[in-house]
Chain A
């Protein structure tokens, strides 16, 4: 679609040279001989067939930009299962992949101890080797997959949170097409619930999946300016922002503005969408594909996307939710080849453009947001909306998301306490205090 400017090509060659040298040094004492050119078959692990398709289609570009001729051997499994598998294979010393995609919620396991530096290639030198690249990448999307200033995986997406709503019903019910603040919107939602039995916001109570329960809270918390962990992996959850956000959701549940649904992606959500019980919700940009189109394809054309209302007290206009970072396993014969492949598919201008047009994921390079082609795209499901332009306008507000090796502990205890607060068993304040206490009790055992 778009040809890479010649300069880019030369620049990436530069990166290749440096990568090669680094890998050779790393393998100096080992028995693995690094491949530097020619035919190479990369083993790629991912949970999502969409990424497989993306990378396969990226082979010609990568072949053109590097000295390799790539072939892919893809293994698929669940996101958490991939990490379990990776570590087991690493202990056994065989069968690790060359490239692996970490769903963001599974990556914290790699942060425990020295697993990440021991197993994964630090991509910072590779990024630095391409002039301008490091600064062009959104720091917010490097943060989740980094540790001690190093980057171990490159995100697939800038998964902003937006507001989805049923345009047809909003029109019929004469609801405003934009509402400035969440507080006003909540009042509106209470009225909509009273008059039409419908809700404008959703919290997940997915029993088997603490991560999903946390997501509902997480997106508003980060929009409000709160966070789970700071850059040094300290828990900063117990904050006024968190309390305000949780209180907001709990009150919404009382008035019917918010509805609790057991699974964002499954049967309950489908039933709620079909029956018109949910006519709008805040969610990440990828939810259009996985939540809406997957469950209610027949509602095509009736949905629209807009920016989230703001919180009166502060915060931004969006948050980030989800993402998948692709990393390279180090000290293997294919390490260099895999790094080059990743850089020349994932991070090129064309690659980032293709990522949006093929998978709906947003670029992680700032410069790509000005691409005229992307800005011209329209979305059929959302009645021909220029979604990309909307996303572009939200870009400055995307907050960074830092992870901690103890994140799964936090999610376990937070999920339980969120549910108790939703049910009214404890106050939002108590829920957060209890979460912090439970977390301290369990973390570091």
Chain B
């Protein structure tokens, strides 16, 4: 039995290398002096090994501010959107009401709208309504994702029994009370799944923070890294170091939520 597995593991290891090699290359490169980064053949172990890139990144650039900005914004956006999606998903899943079909259809259609199209109008609207402060506006595009509503709606239909809700209503529980005490706890896995997705959306976004943020100290990571890489000035060494650190929060979140992610996906949007 184990012998038959050898080819399987062989394939898995090859895939692992293919998927991780670029990141490992970046990791190793981030510890090399600039002149060695593109050396051929590639040297897996940096020699000489240097922390200089990281030191210059931390001392010469407001890197940790970018990092903090990105992470905090992504976390807030994730939390808000997951909550909003759960609410709306529940509304769509467990109630019948006038206009439901239309409202649902309108939301569905928004899945196919490219963000570049609404960029400028959205920006103008936010500024004209006085909501253009980065802390608020950075979060806006990610708080009402149709994708999330769907996922939640699907999951709730599957995993929240009507009988439980009815019983609670008969006991006189308020609608929001039911949502908070009964529905939300049942949703935990799919909330995790949605959270990972939402986090990535916000964390990796470039165009929106670019238009929005003017103060360099309020830059997000993708924006900050981009400034190290403009036109003729390719600060590869710093970019590699920055990109390596930038991967950490997203992977950490994945590792933390992977159980939920798996359950959430399987029982949510997926189960027939």
Contact = CB atoms under 8 A, between A and B. Distances in A.
Is there any pair of Cβ atoms, one from A and one from B, under 8 angstroms apart in the complex?
yes
B35 A92 contact: no
B38 interface: yes
Which 4 residue pairs spanning A and B have beta carbons closest together?
Answer: A92-B127, A290-B232, A267-B38, A78-B230
B38 A91 contact: no
Given A74-B216, A85-B210, 11 more contacts: A77-B210, A77-B227, A78-B226, A84-B210, A88-B120, A92-B127, A266-B234, A266-B236, A267-B37, A271-B40, A298-B35
Nearest to A43: B214
Nearest to A47: B230
A201 B236 CA distance: 25
A76 B227 contact: yes
A250 to B, nearest CB: 26
A92 B124 contact: yes
A103 interface: yes
B223 interface: yes
Interface string B20-61: 000000000000001101101000000000000000000000
Quick one: which of B120, B128, B211, B234 has the most chain A CB within 10 A?
A: B234
A294 interface: yes
17 contacts: A47-B227, A47-B231, A78-B230, A79-B230, A81-B210, A88-B124, A88-B211, A89-B214, A91-B123, A94-B132, A95-B214, A97-B214, A264-B232, A265-B234, A266-B236, A291-B232, A294-B233
Given A47-B230, A78-B226, A85-B214, A94 B127 contact: yes
Interface in A203-240: none
A412 interface: no
B200 to A, nearest CB: 22
B141 to A, nearest CB: 14
Given A48-B233, A265-B232, A75 B127 contact: no
A93 interface: yes
- Dominant secondary structure at the B interface: helix
A402 interface: no
B215 interface: yes
Nearest to B226: A78
A91 B124 contact: yes
A271 B236 CA distance: 14
Interface in A265-295: 265-267, 270-271, 274, 286-287, 290-291, 294-295
B9 to A, nearest CB: 34
Contacts of A92: 123-124, 126-128, 132
A210 to B, nearest CB: 14
Contact of A85 (B211, B232, B234): B211
Contacts of A91: 120, 123-124
A76 to B, nearest CB: 5
A147 to B, nearest CB: 23
A103 B231 contact: yes
A369 to B, nearest CB: 24
Contacts of B124: 88, 91-92
B172 to A, nearest CB: 50
A296 interface: yes
A155 to B, nearest CB: 15
A25 B6 CA distance: 82
Given A76-B227, A265-B234, A271-B40, A88 B214 contact: no
Interface string A43-69: 100011100000000000000000000
Interface string B205-239: 00000110011100000010011011111101000
Interface in A288-315: 290-291, 294-298
Nearest to A91: B124
